[in-house]
């Protein structure tokens, strides 16, 4: 059985949901041909695109005492869902789902009216409000599948995903979730239905609604996949898959057919927004492959993420700007035991995480992404020696699990950079990423040169 997760842009409107249905139907037909017994797939959906942001905006308005503004926005959102629900062609099913949408939005209006008086929105209420996006999107998709002969059956995520109670980022309880999921899913599956559930949403053991954190629908899909021991998890989104570089920087970036989980995690650090690997960890750890596909181009081959893709020296090139380099120079101090600890404690105290580190006998250089507390850091480091700050640096990185085994690759990378100035170089201990610190305004050029060296194509 396959778990198919559709993100916000894949359920944004009627046309998207029609595409979704065609994709699900194709999978359904494939499943019919396999002897596995249970006929999938299981479908997990995000809220319609933009809806979670708007619901959080509604909560903020209520918290600020603007209940009227909040209700106005809710009416707008209700209308959008009603229109999208027209994708349900069967009269009776459509009337039912529209009534369900009304119930959810009536309830939300009452909640925001009350919160508007209190002028305060606790995280608990924030979750109840945000969760509505997935509750209604999943109801629409379930009804649409039912109306089109695909036997969609709505599953309430609040009954299927059991979490702890840290609202807005609640950690799922795996054993409890497995039991609850099976209780909710096995009935519909045995009846030949396609269970459809909202991602992102769960509830505590006491039944209080929670959410798993932004982008949490991938996490939900991964949990189901792991709990149900799915054959595969498919993340349907609006890009073809993961690419060898950011296509806005490197126009001839190529689709990565197969990538290792740790490589994908490394790329996510560089802002690859396709999906956050930590959210798919539960499934990948169990050996379940995760695929990323484009719902606008369902015939594409996508990207497959597993723990054990064959090692290759370079899988992708990543880059980011706005890196700050902090250098501490001190001939006396650095030779003494404990000096590095003392220096890193300064960063820790000021909640600034360090990215890349290089040391010599007399100096330590570190990079940080977040300069919010930099002033305090610099002031406190001054007791160790001369401190200098270089802003506007950038990082380019080669990511590949076979990188550490290939000196040839590193030589080629440095050669490809040509006349670009290099400030720091670091090969991660896992040998999975070679990080190069360059001038911030040369990051893009460096990415293009490296990409051309390893993946061909023209260096701009
Ligand atoms: N709708 C939620 C969000 O926008 C969860 C998700 O889409 O993954 O964060
Ligand atoms: Mg999303």
Confidence category of residue 458, pLDDT binned at 50, 70, 90: low
SS (H, E, C) 209-277: EEECCCCHHHHHHHHHHHHCCCCEEEEEECCCCCECCCCCCCCCCCECCEEEHHHHHHHHHCCCCCCCH
> Residue 459 above 70 pLDDT?
no
Which among 69, 74, 85 has a CA at the least distance from the CA of 51?
74
Q: Compute the distance from residue 184 Cα to the ligand 1 centre, in Å.
A: 22
Which atom of ligand 1 approaches the CA of 213 most closely? 9
- State whether residue 106 is helix, strand or coil: helix
Phi then psi dihedrals of residue 223, to 5 deg: -60, -45
User: Strands 152-155 and 194-198: what pairing?
Assistant: parallel
Phi then psi dihedrals of residue 219, to 5 deg: -60, -45
Q: Compute the distance from residue 6 Cα to the ligand 1 centre, in Å.
A: 11
Predicted TM-score (pTM) of the model is 0.89
Q: Compute the distance from residue 371 Cα to the ligand 2 centre, in Å.
A: 28
Q: Compute the distance from residue 367 Cα to the ligand 1 centre, in Å.
A: 31
Contact at 8 Å (CB) between 154 and 139? yes
Q: Compute the distance from residue 2 Cα to the ligand 1 centre, in Å.
A: 21
Phi then psi dihedrals of residue 2, to 5 deg: -110, 140
Contact at 8 Å (CB) between 423 and 437? yes
**Where in 296-447 does DSSP place strands (E)?**
303-306, 316-329, 354-359, 363-368, 386-399, 422-427, 433-439
From 11, 131, 209, 215, the mutation candidate for ligand 1 (largest count of ligand atoms within 8 A of CB) is 215
Which residues surround ligand 1 with Cβ inside 6 Å?
7-8, 46-47, 52, 133, 199-200, 214-218
Other beta carbons within 10 angstroms of residue 169's beta carbon come to: 15
H helix or E strand, kind and range, residue 198: strand 194-198
Residues of the chain above pLDDT 90, percent: 81
- Which residue intervals of 270-367 are DSSP H helices? 281-285, 339-349
Phi then psi dihedrals of residue 435, to 5 deg: -105, 130
Which atom of ligand 1 approaches the CA of 8 most closely? 7
Which among 425, 413, 424, 405 has a CA at the least distance from the CA of 452?
413
From 5, 8, 197, the mutation candidate for ligand 1 (largest count of ligand atoms within 8 A of CB) is 8
CA of 220, nearest ligand number: 1
Which atom of ligand 1 approaches the CA of 216 most closely? 8
> Residue 333 above 80 pLDDT?
no
Which atom of ligand 1 approaches the CA of 46 most closely? 7
pLDDT in tens, 143-163: 999 999 999 999 999 999 999
436 bridge partner residues: 396, 425
Among 71-75, 180-184, 359-363, whose mean pLDDT is lowest? Answer: 359-363
From 10, 77, 216, the mutation candidate for ligand 1 (largest count of ligand atoms within 8 A of CB) is 216
From 48, 50, 52, the mutation candidate for ligand 1 (largest count of ligand atoms within 8 A of CB) is 52
Contact at 8 Å (CB) between 181 and 227? yes
Kindly report the protein residue whose alpha carbon is nearest to atom 6 of ligand 1.
Answer: 215
Q: Compute the distance from residue 153 Cα to the ligand 1 centre, in Å.
A: 21
Higher pLDDT, 119 or 269: 119
Residue 230: predicted pLDDT: 93
Mean pLDDT within 312-339: 89
- State whether residue 381 is helix, strand or coil: helix
Confidence category of residue 359, pLDDT binned at 50, 70, 90: confident
Kindly report the protein residue whose alpha carbon is nearest to atom 5 of ligand 1.
Answer: 215
pLDDT in tens, 219-242: 999 999 999 899 999 999 999 999
Residue 39: predicted pLDDT: 84
H helix or E strand, kind and range, residue 105: helix 91-118
pLDDT in tens, 18-73: 999 999 999 999 988 777 677 889 999 999 999 999 999 999 999 999 999 999 99
Question: In 3-state terms, the chain is what percent helix, strand and coil (to 5)?
Answer: 45, 20, 30
């Amino acid at each position: 059985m396959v778990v198919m997760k559709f993100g916000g842009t894949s359920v944004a409107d009627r046309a998207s949901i029609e595409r979704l249905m065609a994709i699900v139907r194709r999978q359904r037909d494939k499943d019919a041909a396999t002897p596995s017994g249970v006929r999938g797939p299981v479908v997990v959906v995000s809220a319609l695109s933009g809806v979670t942001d708007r619901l959080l905006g509604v909560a903020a308005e209520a918290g600020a005492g603007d209940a009227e503004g909040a209700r106005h926005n809710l009416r707008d959102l209700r209308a959008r869902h009603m229109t999208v629900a027209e994708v349900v062609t069967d009269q009776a099913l459509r009337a039912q789902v529209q009534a369900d949408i009304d119930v959810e939005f009536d309830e939300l209006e009452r909640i925001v009216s009350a919160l508007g008086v209190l002028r305060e929105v606790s995280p608990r209420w924030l979750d109840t409000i945000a969760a509505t996006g997935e509750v209604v999107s999943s109801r629409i998709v379930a009804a649409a599948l039912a109306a089109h002969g695909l036997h969609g059956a709505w599953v309430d995520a609040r009954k299927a995903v059991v979490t702890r109670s840290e609202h807005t980022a609640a950690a799922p309880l795996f054993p409890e979730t497995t039991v609850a999921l099976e209780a909710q899913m096995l009935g519909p599956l045995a009846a030949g239905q396609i269970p459809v559930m909202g991602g992102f949403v769960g509830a505590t053991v006491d039944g209080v609604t929670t959410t798993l954190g932004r982008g949490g629908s991938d996490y939900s899909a991964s949990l189901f996949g792991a709990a149900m021991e799915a054959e595969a998890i498919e993340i349907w989104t609006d890009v073809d898959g993961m690419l060898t570089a950011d296509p806005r920087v490197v126009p001839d970036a190529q689709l990565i057919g197969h990538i290792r989980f740790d490589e994908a995690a490394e790329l996510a650090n560089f802002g690859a927004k396709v999906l956050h690997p930590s959210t798919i960890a539960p499934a990948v750890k169990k050996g379940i492959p995760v695929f990323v596909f484009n719902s606008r181009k369902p015939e594409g081959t996508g990207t497959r993420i597993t723990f054990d893709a064959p090692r290759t020296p370079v899988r992708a090139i990543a880059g980011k700007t706005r890196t700050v380099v902090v250098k501490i120079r001190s001939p006396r101090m650095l030779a003494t035991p404990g000096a590095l600890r003392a220096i890193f404690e300064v960063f820790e105290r000021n909640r600034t995480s360090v990215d890349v580190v290089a040391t010599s006998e007399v100096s330590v250089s570190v990079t940080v992404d977040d300069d919010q507390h930099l002033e305090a850091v610099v002031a406190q480091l001054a007791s160790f020696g001369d401190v200098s700050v270089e802003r506007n640096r950038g990082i380019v990185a080669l990511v590949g699990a076979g990188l550490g085994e290939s000196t040839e690759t590193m030589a080629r990378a440095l050669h490809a950079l040509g006349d670009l100035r290099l400030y720091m170089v670091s090969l991660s201990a896992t040998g999975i990423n070679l990080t190069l610190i360059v001038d911030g305004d040369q990051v893009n050029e460096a990415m293009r040169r490296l990409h051309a060296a390893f993946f061909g194509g023209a260096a701009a």
